[in-house]
Amino acid sequence: MDLRYGTNPHQAATVTPVQPGRWPVRVLNGTPSAINLLDALNGWQLVSEAARTLGRPAAASFKHVSPAGAAMAGPVDEVTSGLYGLDRVGAVTSAYVRARDADPKSSYGDLAAVSHPVDTELADLLSRVVCDGVIAPGYEPGTVATLAGKKNGRFLVLQADPAFTAPVLESREVFGLRFTEERDSVPLTTALDLSSSAAGDLLLGLIVLRYTQSNSVCYLRDGATLGIGAGQQSRVDCTRLAGAKADTWWLRRHPAVRGLDFRPGVRRQDRINWQIRYLEGGLTPDEDARLAAALATPAPEFAAGDRRAWLAARRGVAFVSDGALPFRDNVDHAHRHGVDHIAEPGGSARSAEVEDACREHGITLTRTGIRLFHH
């Protein structure tokens, strides 16, 4: 298959199946680039494993070969339903909007992955948000036509083959060398005490990080990611980055943020971006002027004390790391973001200090013994 282009537009690229004639996906509309296809393959593996393991529909929002968010089907709160103009939401749509809402700024122009067929409700939503494509195991009648009309006919629609079995060995070539290794298929259910109330979130976190560029960590609550930190050289930087995203998710529920009075005609994505910049603070003079122009009434004061009080009410957050926590600082930072449960491989030189930190903060610690690096 000829791709639209490789990693960059100046690179021509093709893709061929390892097993002649055995394709894991079919293109129903559009022409994928290399990154589109990598996002789709990673996304499909994540959602299909999550749905199979946890027993309900799963979705992910992928950007640059890592998930911006992932979630299982579940309740959609007023903030998310209001943002996307939803009333009663079906299972597959609920999974996707919960996944996209983890980091809606980063999900701009994502590739959506869902574990179950796309129905008319989800197709309608995808036609209204800035999304570049979708991969699913099937499509209800009429949904492909709805999606194919997006982006002047360039919207990417891919159908995954649920019966496809990946080869045991995977290879790639880099600068004249071919690397071959066993596919990472270690069972993750054996890594956790599944009787724990937090087991579902921790298990979802392990599955998410199996398909996230390392180093990586994620925060989760109620079957959805709140913040994912990916591709950082320092693990504590991942922890802080993902923690800041989790804080933003929580603060977007505060009445001060929900009360921002945008003028009619301000686009959904612009409202999202302005909410996040309002929370981050430190706006440039140009941003101050543009935010004022986007609002019908001035933004309310959102004092630091009000922020701290709102964040302090958050509990029950799970935290998962793809590699061993090397120092206790990861635990100390995770505690600041409402974490009560941590899963990590263990085995670092300072594992005893990590365990002591969890004990001090009242955090339950699970040592999985499984590293989940992904590159």
Contact 365, 358 (CB under 8 A): yes
Distance between CA atoms of residues 369 and 209, nearest Å: 15
Whole-number pLDDT of residue 191: 83
Please report the domains of the chain, with CATH numbers, ordered by start residue: 25-165 (3.40.140.20), 189-250+311-367 (3.40.140.20), 260-299 (1.10.287)
The model's pLDDT over 307-360, given as tens digits with 9 standing for 90+, comes to 899 998 889 999 999 999 999 999 999 999 999 999 999 999 999 999 999 999
Whole-number pLDDT of residue 301: 85
Contact 291, 274 (CB under 8 A): yes
Contact 275, 252 (CB under 8 A): yes
The model's pLDDT over 91-125, given as tens digits with 9 standing for 90+, comes to 999 999 999 999 999 999 999 999 999 999 999 99
Whole-number pLDDT of residue 190: 81
* Percent of all residues in the chain with a pLDDT value above 70, rounded to a whole number: 100
- Tell me phi and psi for residue 348, to 5 degrees: -75, 165
Cα angle 319, 221, 316 (rounded to 5 degrees) comes to 75
DSSP string covering 180-196: EEE-----SGGGS-TTS
- The widest CA-to-CA distance across the chain, in whole angstroms, is 62
Distance between CA atoms of residues 68 and 310, nearest Å: 24
Confidence tier at 152 by pLDDT (50, 70, 90): confident
DSSP string covering 93-138: HHHHHHHHTTSTTTTTTEEEEESS-B-HHHHHHHHHS-EEEEEES-
The model's pLDDT over 9-57, given as tens digits with 9 standing for 90+, comes to 999 999 999 999 999 999 999 999 999 999 999 999 999 999 999 999 9
Q: Is the pLDDT of residue 271 over 90?
A: yes
Whole-number pLDDT of residue 231: 95
Q: What's the rounded mean pLDDT across residues 153-158?
A: 95
Among 110, 95, 102, CA closest to 47: 95
Please give the mean pLDDT across all residues of the chain. 94
Distance between CA atoms of residues 279 and 273, nearest Å: 10
Specify burial of residue 27 (Cβ count, 10 A radius: 0-12, 13-18, 19+).
middle
Q: What's the rounded mean pLDDT across residues 248-272?
A: 93
Question: Whole-prediction pTM value?
Answer: 0.95
Per-residue DSSP letter, 299: P
Cα angle 339, 353, 213 (rounded to 5 degrees) comes to 55
Q: Is the pLDDT of residue 194 over 80?
A: no
Distance between CA atoms of residues 291 and 282, nearest Å: 13
Distance between CA atoms of residues 10 and 1, nearest Å: 18
Among 90, 323, 77, CA closest to 222: 77
Confidence tier at 88 by pLDDT (50, 70, 90): confident
For residue 57, count other CB atoms closer than 10 A to its CB.
Answer: 23
Whole-number pLDDT of residue 188: 93
| Bigger pLDDT: 194 vs 227 | 227
Residues with catalytic function: 63-64, 215, 375
CA dihedral sign of residues 22, 28, 32, 36: negative
State yes or no: cis peptide before 8, omega within 30 of 0.
Answer: no
Cα angle 317, 322, 134 (rounded to 5 degrees) comes to 80
